[in-house]
Chains A and B, each alone.
Chain A
Amino acid sequence: AAGAPKPLPSSGPKSLREMPHPLATSSSEEMGPPLTPSPDLLLPRSIADKDLSLPNGTPVDTSSPASSSSLLNRLQLDDDLDVETRDLFVTVDDPKKHVCTMETYITYRVTTKTTRAEFDLPEYSVRRRYQDFDWLRNKLEESQPTHLIPPLPEKFVVKGVVDRFSEEFVETRRKALDKFLKRITDHPVLSFNEHFNVFLTAKDLNAYKKQGMALLSKMGESVKYVTGGYKLRSRPLEFAAIGDYLDTFSLKLGTIDRIAQRIIKEQLEYLVELREYGPVYSTWGGLEVELSEPLEGVSACIGNCCTALEELSEDMTEDFLPVLREYILYAESMKNVLKKRDQVQAEYEAKLEAVALKREDRPKVPTDVEKCQDRVECFNADLKADMERWQNNKRQDFRQLLMGMADKNIQYYEKCLTAWESIIPLLQDKPETK
């Protein structure tokens, strides 16, 4: 039977900076020449030099490298990330269309303002297109497999059905890309990722991309750990609970998406009828003498309501639905991370079992099993921390989203109310006796 994971014997408190990330090395037994601090773990000087202790005063046990990044997560979580303590700001705006011989595409301006030491300059402004964001996301998934990477808006758009260059589509996408980068910016680990840094700063991202490909092929699948073929017996309760939660969550969001779409559809059909309804009053007004103005007034009023309704439907389509879909995508990618975690645990348990079966009288657990254990613990810690953050952000995001939906409806009714209230005096008006 697999033994309980034991902590590694302490080699004394080391600066976090010097400790290689347990997941940065390959699964091979031999440790290669000591790597320079992996690109995946660039820690701010400030934390590395401090005597670490949790906010409640208990000293932190930094002996287990497994908890290093999650430690950072936890410390950062307790910080209120208001504007003053933030040192990195990223914005996506200014979409522009580029027409080339081979293709037409949109680029967005990505503006960065920062005081972080990892950045050479305090400000950057670069242009990026969707595939650059896609590249970034893939890189983050590869290099930070234990973390929840925010979703991107859908990649593929059915040509002919949706106009990729329409103002509405571009704006919706821009908002989603902006949200994507902001989520990374807010993440205590992801925001220090080297690829993210390059994405924000490099003038020629394509050159870096090519370079990165070459590097990767040299190092082999060093960062990407392939854990195929191991089957997990059972998910630990807390992760099973997360899995169940995500399943139900996705389901409910899917239902809400369908309901919202149905409402928009019904509203548009209502709008079609209203557009025919209003002008009939006008036609009638043309027949009448004394009733002419009141009837025209009603016609104009209905016209105003049509405009208001159109705005409501547009807002819901552009602002509400995309965020909903983002979260469905988020949940999907999170479920995948959970599966990866299962894989890592399964590998560990399998190896542990293999060792136990050998029945060797070895008090010491072999190195590669130790590494597996580290990986499991690290993964679990990162995932838990990210889940907590995700839950909090999700609550805020949905609070904002749903309040926004309520607001839009309120505004719609207020516009209609104003229109109808303003014609009451017109309707009551008695024509002057001539």
Chain B
Amino acid sequence: MEDCLAKKMEITVSEAEKRTGRNAMNIQETYTAYLIETRAVESQNEGQCAPVESLWRRYSEFELLRNYLSVTYPHIVVPPLPEKRADFVWHKLSADNMDPDFVERRRIGLENFLLRVASHPVLCQDKIFYAFLMQEGGWKEMVNETGFQLKADSRLKALNATFRVKSPDKRFTELKHYSDELQSVISHLLRVRARVADRLYGVYKVHGNYGRVFSEWSAIEKEMGDGLQSAGHHMDVYAASIDDILEEEEHYADQLKEYLFYAEALRAVCRKHELMQYDLEMAAQDLTSKKQQCEELATGTVRTFSLKGMTSKLFGQETPEQREAKIKVLEEQIQEGEEQLKSKNLEGRDFVKSAWADIERFKEQKNHDLKEALISYAVMQISMCKKGIQVWTNAKECFSKM
């Protein structure tokens, strides 16, 4: 198996820059551009480092890339982009897209996206993706020339299929339910986590008031003064410590968000299957009805009620020549239909096979990543507890000197 791109090339989104420009409607807008840097990983023997190549892309171009990949590889669980707008924010964080913290976290998210694609055995080989990384000018045109937009399934069609498909693969039905539940539970988790962060922030910050009042109190005390004053300082340290703690936690939230969006990608694969299955069922149904029609015409028996049959009974039969012509057309259509059905079946089976392979790969990745995320979260909590113990122990010592 060919090594994926990630192993051959270092990819980073190293910088973010505010830009102003005119958009398609010639209206001036402000946007952020991201610098993508790539460098070929040289073998040790070369000794020299390959040169760094770089180009600038904005978020909308990332979106275009992802849309292209989703349509072109519908059986793949395509890695998601970081959120477009800040969501699940707690009060201190800004919901402003231009906010430097948001931009920074987005930069990291975009880099992560590129690395995910580059390490995917199928996606990394895509030429458009490669061009995205290497070719600044004319990339958009290149993507549009693939005509991928035409291949995209309409949302409405997909919805229709969801409701009407008769016998989808059971595994996909289960997976669909799983992805729905996963989305729901991670959303809930992120929402509550934001509230928890908000409250925790409040608890820590109020302690800062102790610093001030201890200082004021120490002014009127003789023996107690020093102890109070220095304890107050520790209370200030405590209150200030929450900022870093919560900033670190945002990374955890981002990891969860990635999988929240991944659930949507999973859902998309299931939807594609439903669509294909529905398509197949419709084609099979169509074929069956045509065969039936043919039979009826040939034998003259009417097995099923049809408006045509009734009207012909009422308004007179057709001539044998007309009937012959009709049968011929139908036989041709049936031939076509059968071939189409065969290829659709094959397509369907291929899709299920390759989709399922990627789903298994995704499951393993998900289990690994989320476990790592939980471990890092636990480590963050441990660090927070240790800091708390330290501060209060220092304060206690100050109090003991009172």
Chain A positions near chain B (C-beta within 8 angstroms): 245, 248-249, 252, 255-256, 259, 262-263, 266-267, 269-270, 272-274, 276-277, 280-281, 283-284, 287-288, 290-291, 294-295, 298, 301, 395, 398-399, 402-403, 406-407, 409-410, 412-414, 416-417, 420-421, 423-424, 427-428
Contacts and interface: CB of A to CB of B under 8 A. Distances in A.
| Chain A binding surface, main DSSP class | helix
A417 B385 contact: yes
A269 B202 contact: yes
Contacts of B392: 406-407, 409-410, 413
Contact of B385 (A269, A294, A413): A413
A414 B386 CA distance: 8
A427 B368 CA distance: 11
Given A269-B202, A287-B182, A409-B388, A421 B382 contact: yes
A424 B388 contact: no
A284 B385 contact: no
9 contacts: A256-B217, A263-B203, A270-B199, A273-B192, A281-B189, A288-B367, A410-B396, A417-B382, A417-B385
B374 A398 contact: no
A406 B385 contact: no
B185 A406 contact: no
B389 A395 contact: no
Interface stretch (B79-87, B205-213, B273-281, B325-333): B205-213
Given A252-B213, A287-B181, A398-B402, A427 B396 contact: no
A424 B378 contact: yes
B305 to A, nearest CB: 48
A281 B186 CA distance: 9
Given A252-B220, A291-B371, 18 more contacts: A259-B213, A262-B206, A263-B206, A266-B203, A270-B200, A273-B195, A280-B189, A283-B185, A284-B185, A287-B182, A287-B185, A294-B374, A298-B374, A407-B396, A409-B388, A413-B388, A417-B382, A428-B375
A207 B386 CA distance: 59
A410 B381 contact: no
Contacts of A410: 388-389, 392-393, 396
A406 to B, nearest CB: 4
A280 B188 contact: yes
Contact of A259 (B189, B193, B206): B206
A266 B370 contact: no
Indicate the size class of the contact surface on chain B: 35 or more
Interface in B136-193: 178, 181-182, 185-186, 188-189, 192-193
Interface in B354-402: 367, 370-371, 374-375, 377-379, 381-382, 385-386, 388-389, 392-393, 395-396, 399-400, 402
A281 B378 CA distance: 13
Ranked nearest first, the 5 interchain pairs of A and B with the lowest CB-CB distance are: A406-B396, A270-B199, A417-B385, A413-B388, A402-B399
Contacts of B46: none
B378 A423 contact: yes
Nearest to A285: B185
B231 interface: yes
B130 to A, nearest CB: 34
Nearest to A281: B189
Contacts of A398: 224, 402
B9 interface: no
A159 B371 CA distance: 52
B190 to A, nearest CB: 10
A297 to B, nearest CB: 8
Nearest to B370: A291
Contacts of B203: 263, 266-267, 270
Contacts of B185: 280, 283-284, 287
B395 A406 contact: yes
Nearest to A271: B199
A96 B103 CA distance: 64
Interface string B194-228: 01101110110011011001001100100110010
Contacts of A424: 375, 378-379, 382
B189 A403 contact: no
A406 B220 CA distance: 22
B189 A252 contact: no
A416 B381 contact: yes
B164 to A, nearest CB: 27
B402 A395 contact: yes
Contact of B193 (A267, A270, A277, A416): A277
A172 B91 CA distance: 37
Nearest to B220: A248
Contacts of B399: 399, 402-403, 406
Contacts of A417: 382, 385-386, 389
Contacts of A287: 178, 181-182, 185
B209 A259 contact: yes
B382 A414 contact: no
Contacts of A399: 224, 227, 399-400, 402
Given A259-B210, A287-B181, A276 B378 contact: no
A398 B400 CA distance: 10
Contacts of A283: 185, 188
Contact of B375 (A262, A266, A407, A427): A427
Contacts of A301: 378, 381
Contacts of B217: 248-249, 252, 256
Nearest to A416: B385
A247 to B, nearest CB: 10
B393 A406 contact: yes
A344 B223 CA distance: 32
A270 B189 contact: no
Nearest to A396: B402
A263 B205 CA distance: 9
A261 to B, nearest CB: 10
A294 B367 CA distance: 10
A248 B213 CA distance: 11
Contacts of B395: 402, 406
B10 to A, nearest CB: 29
Given A270-B199, A403-B400, A252 B192 contact: no
Nearest to B378: A420
B392 to A, nearest CB: 4
A30 to B, nearest CB: 46
B360 to A, nearest CB: 13
Given A413-B389, A417-B385, A294 B371 contact: yes
A273 B198 CA distance: 10
B352 to A, nearest CB: 21
Contacts of A249: 217, 220
Nearest to A269: B199
A269 B199 CA distance: 7
B96 to A, nearest CB: 25
A270 to B, nearest CB: 4
Contacts of B195: 273
